[in-house]
Amino acid sequence: MYPNVFPSSHPLVLHKVTLLRDIDTEPKKFRELIREISALLAYEATSDLLTMPRDVETPLAPMVGAELREKIGLVPILRAGLGMVEGVWELMPTAEVWHIGLYRDERTLKPVEYYNKLPIEPTVSVCLVLDPMLATGGSATATISVLKRWGVKKIKFVGIIGAPEGIRTLHDTHPEVPIHIAAVDVKLNERGYILPGLGDAGDRQFGTG
């Protein structure tokens, strides 16, 4: 597809995404699956983070181990990205979480920003942008533009289901940003929903709609 797009081929991810799509999966189970899939994807997405040597004393001997060199920021796109935070945060508990609020205008499908409390100077060196759905790509593309203006040099997108249209838009606008995704689906429908997709990720997590 594109060199910087990484669909997961992990059997656990494929299994859990199928349960996630199921119309009969209720919100409690849906949230649990989002959390688990997000952790598995984040594990894959962080395989190139930099480390530095760290002295450590085991009960038997001193040795040189490793510690993370990068300051990680998790950036969930509200609302649906919120459910992805917990699973990822458990893997990297010192990460900072910076929320970006965007909703898609139902008519134009363009993202509208409504929440952004980033401080003036960047406080992290790498950001993982979290949003389960990459549909037209407008929300992810806009969020990554915000983070670039903030001054973050290393940005990765972690999503669950992507449409070819959204992957193309995100890749064309920010080609250096890796896209880690559990599944690439067929297309968007006339309302900008991913087919076959899973429906509305925000509504299914929060029991709304």
Q: Is the dihedral of CA 70, 82, 130, 180 positive or negative?
A: positive
What is d(CA 19, CA 34) in angstroms, rounded to the nearest whole number?
10
Is 193 a binder of ligand URA (CB under 6 A)? yes
**Rounded CA separation 121/46 (Å):** 23
Residue 200 falls in the annotated catalytic set? yes
At its nearest, how many Å lie between ligand PRP and the CB of residue 205? 9
The binder of 136, among ligand URA, ligand PRP, none, by C-beta within 5 to 8 A per type, is ligand PRP
Of 91-150, binders to ligand URA (CB under 6 A) are 133, 135
Residues 59-98, mask of contacts with ligand URA (x by CB under 6 A):
---------------------x------------------
Catalytic residue selected from 51, 108, 123, 208: 108
Tokens matching residue 206: 């929060």
Out of 35, 104, 168, 173, pick the active-site residue.
104
197 binds ligand URA (CB under 6 A): yes
Tell which phi-psi region holds residue 199, choosing left (phi > 0), alpha (psi between -120 and 50) or beta. left
**C-alpha–C-alpha distance, residues 97 and 55, integer Å:** 29
Q: In angstroms, what CA-CA distances link 79 with 8, 103, 143, 187, 203?
A: 23, 8, 13, 23, 9
CB of 161 to ligand URA, least distance (A): 7
**What are the phi and psi torsion angles at 171 (to 5°)?**
-65, -40
Name the residues that contact ligand PRP, by CB under 6 A: 77-80, 103-104, 109, 111, 131, 133-140, 166, 192, 201-202
Handedness of CA 187, 14, 178, 144 (dihedral sign): positive
Q: How far apart are CA 111 and CA 130, in angstroms?
A: 15
Binding segment (CB under 6 A) for ligand URA, from list 35-43, 56-64, 147-155, 192-200: 192-200
193 or 206, CB closer to ligand URA?
193
Pick the binder of ligand URA from 74, 169, 201, 205 (CB under 6 A).
Answer: 201
Residues that bind ligand URA (CB under 6 A): 80, 133, 135, 193-194, 197, 200-202
